[in-house]
Amino acid sequence: MSPIFALPLPPAEDWQAQARAARLTTAELLVRVGLTAADFPAGVVADPDFPLSVPPHYLSLIRRGDPADPLLLQVLARGEEALPQPGRLTDPLAEADYRAAPGVLRKYRSRALLIASGACAIHCRYCFRRHTDYGSVMLTRSGEAEALALIAGDPAIDEVILSGGDPLSLTDARLAALVSAIAAIPHVTTLRLHSRTFLAIPDRVTPALVDLLAGIRLNVVIVTHSNHEREISGDVSAALGRLRAAGVILLNQSVLLA
């Protein structure tokens, strides 16, 4: 089947407009992919606590009229989600046990993870932080000094991980301020960012972002989250190529999906 009909994209230089355009209702998503709730054995559901978010670029990659499309199944809330599931956990990684400071998770001695943002460009139905109260665990401007002091005070920490949400939902200016503060800590040698935004909005790889990551003294590693080869579109490949040319190490983390 052919890809979904072309959708108008906001200007490439305004990736934030593309993020805002990602919010769809279940009904709107079904119309755009040429399907109805009856095409799914258990129907579909609306989840007000974790609403749909599918940026136009990612939506354009979904096969129209195919209820089994692997990209669609990652973002559409189907009726199976509402069925009882023995063993289901709202905090499967027990992250509440590793909070070292506001916005900081410390599971390993040499690493500190910062919950840099509570926002994501795309909402994946398998998200293990979908039930997180980001208002209570996210790194805030007021809590940033305490978080950085914790890292600066422990020479064993040589790697800082930016996660979320998605750290690339931050503006270039906000990200630059945070990254620069991390780079100023002498014993930190590696910065790792986990992001799915590149796949959903490849225009997020702005010249300012590339310059920022190319210009800091840290080893920069970006872990993307691609689960299917069709997510690596030409635009995504070009965006990742710009990062690689800037010296960024690119890794991928995939989810094993039923």
Give the tens place of pLDDT for each residue, 211-225: 999 999 999 999 999
Residues 6 or more apart whose CB falls under 8 angstroms from that of 229 comprise none
The parts of the chain modelled with pLDDT lower than 50 are 1-6, 12
What pLDDT sits at residue 155? Answer: 98
What pLDDT sits at residue 65? Answer: 97
What pLDDT sits at residue 61? Answer: 97
What pLDDT sits at residue 57? Answer: 96
What pLDDT sits at residue 131? Answer: 72
Domain boundaries, the chain: 15-82, 95-252
CATH fourth-level superfamily of 95-252: Aldolase class I (3.20.20.70)
Residue 219 CB burial class (10 angstroms; 0-12, 13-18, ≥19): middle
> pTM value?
0.88
What pLDDT sits at residue 13? Answer: 53
DSSP letters spanning 61-116: TSBTT-TT-TTHHHHS-BGGGGS--TT--SSTT-GGGGEEETTEE-SSTTEEEEE-
